[in-house]
Amino acid sequence: MDSEVLGVKAPATTVTGDHDWWRTAVIYQVYVRSFADASGDGTGDLAGVRDRLPYLASLGVDALWFNPWYPSPLADGGYDVADYRDIHPMFGQLADAEALITEAAALGIRTIIDIVPNHISSAHPWFQEALAAGPGSPERERFWFRPGGGVDGEQMPTDWVSSFQGTTWTRTTNPDGTPGEWYLHLFTPEQPDLNWNHPDVRREHEEVLRFWFDRGVAGVRIDSAALPVKDETFPQLPAEPGPGEHPHVDRDEIHDIYRAWRAIADSYTEPRVLVGEVWLEDAARFARYLRPDEMHTAFNFDFMTQPWDAAAMRTSIERTLAEHAPVGAPATWVLSNHDITRPVTRYGREDSGFAFDRKRFGTPTDLGLGTRRARAAALLTAALPGCLYIYQGDELGLPEADIPRELIEDPMHFRSGGVDPGRDGCRVPLPWTSAGPSLGFGPDGAAAPWLPQPTSWGSLSVAAQEGDPASMLSLYRAALAHRRSDADLRGEALEWIDAGADVIAFRRGARLISITNLGTAPVALPPHSGVHLASAPLAGGLLPPDSTAWLAVEPPSGESA
Ligand code: GLC
């Protein structure tokens, strides 16, 4: 039964009919807190996004993915959800979200929201009830409360290591003041892990999915999607766990959860879409999440973490396409997100790959080089088969910002003992205008943005770039417009062209070649009849280092034009 008919009136939408839209979509990630501040309190909000929908439409995106927009103490930027059925008051109200979904749809843009199944906020009523109810209570069964080891229960139940570094258990205090049980949290103590063997946990999430799907949301991004199921015996970490043997990553039982979610998504007249945040090195295990009755797509972090190196990137592309083919799922291409060092900065460093544990303050960076490479990477990824993600601000070529230590909020920074700068540097409010106290992020007279914008960002603002055909913004707009108009770029065919060890070149369909030069010397362009787009000026038939061109070519003989 189609639950759109129940309760809530589904919004009128112009984004209906194409049930395969997610296979080739361009999805723009909106970090609401830093997108646009309509209220003037220094924090982005939904009204700000609504005001800027024409900008997003003119960029040419098919869908928006919103980071968690729910009420939250923001211990982890909103990934500590206190109420799934409402909007954080600093972002607006539920009615604003409904209006946003409808207005975006009217512009042909779908909405994807974030669901965080592994944990909730410690401020969520369920956890507060569990603390109050005490050991052995049914309220505690929704989480993982365990007695400690040792004489007085002073030892943590396991030695599991947090994804944010450090330990994964916090000890509670009993109502009478004595030390109590421990509870599990793979992230911060403010994010207690849920017990997915508990029927309430499953039911609640399924109802939350319907709640948002009924409001016209086109899909969900599933946070930390490989983590929710735990080994209930709580063993210590094995030295080298085989596939499915890790006590809290990628357990085999997890797939049942997503099969149930897929059935809900498929029950809608316009089927909804599941997108997984699945960090797994094992390609075969990754692909299992994308079987036809599970998720539609998952983020491809393999490519994003590669250094600026032709062999590494080409191998990653081949590996990605090969691992997706057997399950029939499209690949996704992702250059960054709210957790990752911005591409302009990453590619301007000697160590140009990405790993969470390699982030350090003061790493030397050549932003000119990084910008040239980020432009080249934008065209390269936009030419690959599958779905493309753009993190807000990458279309402006924003670098990672240095945040003064005293203003850093990200728990990753604190849990590293202050060694890791954390993720706030990619979460800085966007510059919309070349001048003004918040570069147009907020209205005149608004409070200062919640994170400081570098003063140099005026020249990277939307206003500064809009009329400049050589800007990053113009490049993105042109690339997305071309991708829309060229069916071959949305097809699956990719034929590699050998153009040298430092070059990534491939034909897409009969009429387009994408070629990227990752070497240090210019390379000759293959025969072509024209140039659709280039990330850097071409001279004398040569492609400069750190650039990509999309070439028009004649179809091979025998194929009709
Ligand atoms: C995901 C999110 C990240 C968050 C973590 C815990 O990795 O992308 O921002 O901190 O999950 O929810």
User: Probe ligand 1: pick from 65, 76, 248, max atoms within 8 Å of CB?
Assistant: 76
User: Probe ligand 1: pick from 29, 79, 165, 356, max atoms within 8 Å of CB?
Assistant: 79
Atom 4 of ligand 1 has which residue's CA nearest to it? 79
Predicted confidence band of residue 246 (pLDDT cuts 50, 70, 90): very high
Please tell me the distance between residue 30's alpha carbon and the centre of ligand 1 in angstroms: 15
Nearest ligand 1 atom, CA 79? 12
Residues in the chain, total? 561
CA 120 to chain centre: 19
Identify the CATH number of the domain defined by range 486-552.
Answer: 2.60.40.1180
Q: Is the pLDDT of residue 8 over 60?
A: no
The pair phi, psi for residue 83, each rounded to 5°, is -160, 115
Atom 6 of ligand 1 has which residue's CA nearest to it? 79
* Residue 464 burial (C-beta neighbours within 10 Å; 0-12, 13-18, 19+): buried
* Residue 426 burial (C-beta neighbours within 10 Å; 0-12, 13-18, 19+): buried
- The whole-chain average pLDDT of the chain stands at 95
How far apart CA 341 and CA 349 sit, in angstroms, is 11
User: Probe ligand 1: pick from 223, 354, 424, max atoms within 8 Å of CB?
Assistant: 223
Nearest ligand 1 atom, CA 338? 9
Can you give the pTM of this predicted structure?
Answer: 0.96
- How much is the pLDDT for 557? 72
Q: Amino acid identity, residue 361?
A: F
Tell me the chain's radius of gyration from C-alpha atoms: 24
Residue range 310-329: mean pLDDT, rounded: 97
Question: Which residues in 446-508 belong to E strands, given as ranges?
Answer: 495-497, 503-508
* Residue 206 burial (C-beta neighbours within 10 Å; 0-12, 13-18, 19+): middle
Predicted confidence band of residue 561 (pLDDT cuts 50, 70, 90): very low
How far apart CA 287 and CA 370 sit, in angstroms, is 32
Q: Count Cβ atoms below 10 Å from residue 214 Cβ, excluding itself.
A: 18
Please tell me the distance between residue 223's alpha carbon and the centre of ligand 1 in angstroms: 6
125-184 and 486-552: identical CATH topology:
no
Tokens of 505: 């070149």
Write out pLDDT tens, residues 121-153.
999 999 999 999 999 999 999 999 999 999 999
Q: Is the pLDDT of residue 435 over 50?
A: yes
Please tell me the distance between residue 426's alpha carbon and the centre of ligand 1 in angstroms: 14
Half-sphere exposure for 397 (CA within 13 Å, toward CB)? 32
Q: Is 398 helix (H, G, I), strand (E, B) or coil?
A: coil
The pair phi, psi for residue 168, each rounded to 5°, is -120, 10
Residue range 346-358: mean pLDDT, rounded: 97
- How much is the pLDDT for 370? 98
Please tell me the distance between residue 76's alpha carbon and the centre of ligand 1 in angstroms: 8
Continuous H helices in 367-454: 367-382, 411-415
DSSP 120-177: --TTSHHHHHHHHH-TT-GGGGGB-EE--BSTTS-B-S---B-TTSSBSEEEEE-TTS
Q: Is the pLDDT of residue 555 over 90?
A: no
Predicted confidence band of residue 559 (pLDDT cuts 50, 70, 90): low
Q: Count Cβ atoms below 10 Å from residue 184 Cβ, excluding itself.
A: 23
Q: Is the pLDDT of residue 5 over 60?
A: no
How far apart CA 229 and CA 208 sit, in angstroms, is 19
Residue 345 DSSP one-character state: H
Asked if residues 472 and 479 have their Cβ atoms less than 8 Å apart, the reply is no
Nearest ligand 1 atom, CA 411? 10
Closest to 100 (Cα-Cα) out of 33, 22, 2, 32: 32
Residue range 426-455: mean pLDDT, rounded: 97
Please tell me the distance between residue 68's alpha carbon and the centre of ligand 1 in angstroms: 10
Sheet with 332-334, side-by-side order of all strands = 297-298, 273-276, 219-222, 110-115, 63-66, 26-30, 387-391, 332-334
Q: Is the pLDDT of residue 74 over 70?
A: yes
Q: Which residues line ligand 1 (CB under 6 A)?
A: 76, 79, 116, 187, 223-224, 277, 338-339
How far apart CA 110 and CA 90 sit, in angstroms, is 23
- How much is the pLDDT for 7? 44
Predicted confidence band of residue 558 (pLDDT cuts 50, 70, 90): low
Residue range 489-510: mean pLDDT, rounded: 96
Atom 3 of ligand 1 has which residue's CA nearest to it? 339
Residue range 446-469: mean pLDDT, rounded: 97
Write out pLDDT tens, residues 88-125.
999 999 999 999 999 999 999 999 999 999 999 999 99
Q: Is the pLDDT of residue 6 over 50?
A: no
User: Probe ligand 1: pick from 84, 337, 339, max atoms within 8 Å of CB?
Assistant: 339
How far apart CA 80 and CA 73 sit, in angstroms, is 7
In this structure, CATH architecture of domain 125-184: Alpha-Beta Complex (3.90)
Top-tier CATH class for 3-116+300-465: alpha beta
Closest to 213 (Cα-Cα) out of 113, 294, 117, 70: 113
Domain limits of the chain? 3-116+300-465, 125-184, 486-552
